[in-house]
């Protein structure tokens, strides 16, 4: 009986959603291990009072833990404060000013991504003042550079600026677009830099410097001349860039896109298929973005180990072989010095027969070499096959060669 109450208490207790176990006193009192738990609860409660405090966002009293930002508290409670420059896992920079909220008693609006929650803080996340500021900020971004061509923009449908414009009904018509200031850079096989789309949110800088720690790019120049630059403002190919594409994945608009982005289906037209990268043993988790049975883009799966969204140049850009004409599509059998096409059945039969003949006679006459490019599971199967089917311990791996 009491445990159903307990479960419902858990469901209604806002703290339960945070995985914090606080039992209502009424329940606690008839639990069998009452005394010890009572003491424990008191202790937790004491700690909570010490560590957890509460604040008010949009009229809701919400608890927070020391160090949480307003944004984190809001998100945890399904209050949708829009962000643009905020990059998970990197130091908040407070650059875009989209996430501003009204904090009672503060002189100016505050960026929720940078300001820590404090006890008794009263926050309005969508007050008229906030909306006015967000609309102006979005308007200013939309009229910086060129965003009047969403229709032919590779990021359309997958663009945070576009989403914000829709959410706040901003058209980018108040000011004359400032146009193209720096020419596009396409002098490398992987990344297209279109500065006229750049809203200088700095996510790429955070991604490169704090996530990948490649330190290839940073803010350069001042004021309206500002630009994301490599050291000495050289082309990416002449810089410290290793083309990992972390910045491309972080870019919320079309300022950093894959080289061929204008020629292939847009991200928003594709379907994501989650898989494991087949290039190396790290086993990065990735999304293949597929349309018409063809892979057009690859992105890292965020929030899963081991890569948490990051990929390297091979995993992210090395996929044209999938649709290559030169790729083998059927097994080939070599007869009299020449290959001929064969069916899978025929090829497998032949292989099995020859294994039996050779390994059956002298087990150690065969050896199995596996690869760093296959998954752990596949490597496991290969060694199992070698030892139990072929009955040999001649099993090795390319990395030892």
Query: Footprint of other proteins on this chain (CB under 8 A)?
Result: 92-98, 100, 108-109, 111, 114-116, 129, 132-133, 136-137, 140-141, 143-144, 174-175, 178, 199-200, 202, 218-219, 221-226
Question: Based on CB atoms, which residue is closest to ligand SF4, 116 or 157?
Answer: 157
Least separation in angstroms between CB 220 and other proteins: 8
- Residue 346, number of CB atoms within 10 A of its CB: 13
Distances (CA, A) of 249 to 60, 184, 205, 226: 35, 18, 12, 21
The interface partner of residue 86, options being other proteins, ligand SF4, ligand FES, none and the CB cut-off 5 to 8 Å by kind, is: ligand FES
The answer to whether residues 236 and 170 touch, using CB atoms and an 8 Å cutoff, is no
Contact with ligand SF4 (CB under 6 A): which of 22, 28, 251, 386? 251
Q: How many residues does the chain have?
A: 401
Least separation in angstroms between CB 222 and ligand SF4: 9
CA–centroid distance for 59 within its chain: 32
- DSSP output for 67-85: T-BHHHHHHHTT-----SS
Contact with ligand SF4 (CB under 6 A): which of 217, 257, 267, 390? 217
- Residue 340, number of CB atoms within 10 A of its CB: 11
User: Residues 49 to 108: which contact ligand FES by CB under 6 A?
Assistant: 83-86, 94-99
Question: Based on CB atoms, which residue is closest to other proteins, 88 or 274?
Answer: 88
Query: Does residue 243 interact with ligand SF4 by CB under 6 A?
Result: yes
User: Residues 153 to 182: which contact ligand SF4 by CB under 6 A?
Assistant: 153, 155-156, 159, 161-162
E strands within 336-386? Answer: 338-341, 368-370
Least separation in angstroms between CB 291 and ligand FES: 31
The answer to whether residues 96 and 137 touch, using CB atoms and an 8 Å cutoff, is yes
Q: Judging by beta carbons within 10 Å of its beta carbon (0-12, 13-18, 19+), is residue 183 exposed, middle or buried? A: exposed
Residues 12-28 as b or e (16 or more Cβ within 10 Å = b)? eeeeeeeeeebbeeebb
Comparing CA positions, the residue from 232, 273, 267, 239 lying closest to residue 251 is 267
Least separation in angstroms between CB 266 and ligand FES: 24
Binding residues for ligand SF4, rule: CB under 6 A, are 147, 149-150, 153, 155-156, 159, 161-162, 197-204, 207-208, 212, 214, 216-217, 228, 241-247, 250-251, 253-256, 277, 279-280, 282-284, 307, 311-312, 314-315
Binding residues for ligand FES, rule: CB under 6 A, are 83-86, 94-99, 111, 113
């Amino acid at each position: 009986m009491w445990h159903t109450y307990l479960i419902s208490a858990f469901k209604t207790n806002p703290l339960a959603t945070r995985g914090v176990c606080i039992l209502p006193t009424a329940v606690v009192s008839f639990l069998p291990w009452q005394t010890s738990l009572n003491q424990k609860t008191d202790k937790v409660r004491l700690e909570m009072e010490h560590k957890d405090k509460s604040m008010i966002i949009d009229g809701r009293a919400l608890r927070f833990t020391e160090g949480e930002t307003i944004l984190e508290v809001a998100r945890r409670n399904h209050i949708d404060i829009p962000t643009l420059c905020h990059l998970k896992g990197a130091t908040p920079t407070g650059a875009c000013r989209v996430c501003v909220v009204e904090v009672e008693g503060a002189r100016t609006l505050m960026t929720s991504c940078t300001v820590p929650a404090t006890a008794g803080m009263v926050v309005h996340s969508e007050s008229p003042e906030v909306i006015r500021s967000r609309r102006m900020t979005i308007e200013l971004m939309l009229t910086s550079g060129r965003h009047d061509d969403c229709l032919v923009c590779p990021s359309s449908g997958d663009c945070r600026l576009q989403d914000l414009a829709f959410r706040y009904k901003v058209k980018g018509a108040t000011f004359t677009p400032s146009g193209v200031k720096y020419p596009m850079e396409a002098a490398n096989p992987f990344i297209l830099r279109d500065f006229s789309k750049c809203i200088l949110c700095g996510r790429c800088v955070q991604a490169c410097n704090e996530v990948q720690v490649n330190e290839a790019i940073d803010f350069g120049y001042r004021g309206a001349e500002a630009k994301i630059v490599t050291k000495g403002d050289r082309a990416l190919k002449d810089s410290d860039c290793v083309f990992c594409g972390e910045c491309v994945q972080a870019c919320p608009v079309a300022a950093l896109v894959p080289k061929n982005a204008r020629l292939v289906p847009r991200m928003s037209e594709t379907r994501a298929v989650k898989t494991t990268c087949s290039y190396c043993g790290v086993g990065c988790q990735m999304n293949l973005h597929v349309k018409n049975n063809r892979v057009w883009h690859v992105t890292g799966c965020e929030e899963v180990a081991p890569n948490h969204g990051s990929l390297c140049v091979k995993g992210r850009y090395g996929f044209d072989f999938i649709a290559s004409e030169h790729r083998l599509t059927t097994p080939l059998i070599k007869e009299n010095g020449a290959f001929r096409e064969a069916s899978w059945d025929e090829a497998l039969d032949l292989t099995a027969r020859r294994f039996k003949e050779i390994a059956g006679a002298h087990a150690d006459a065969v050896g199995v070499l596996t690869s760093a490019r296959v998954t752990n599971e596949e490597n496991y199967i290969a060694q199992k096959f070698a030892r139990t089917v072929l009955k040999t311990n001649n099993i090795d791996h390319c990395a030892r060669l």
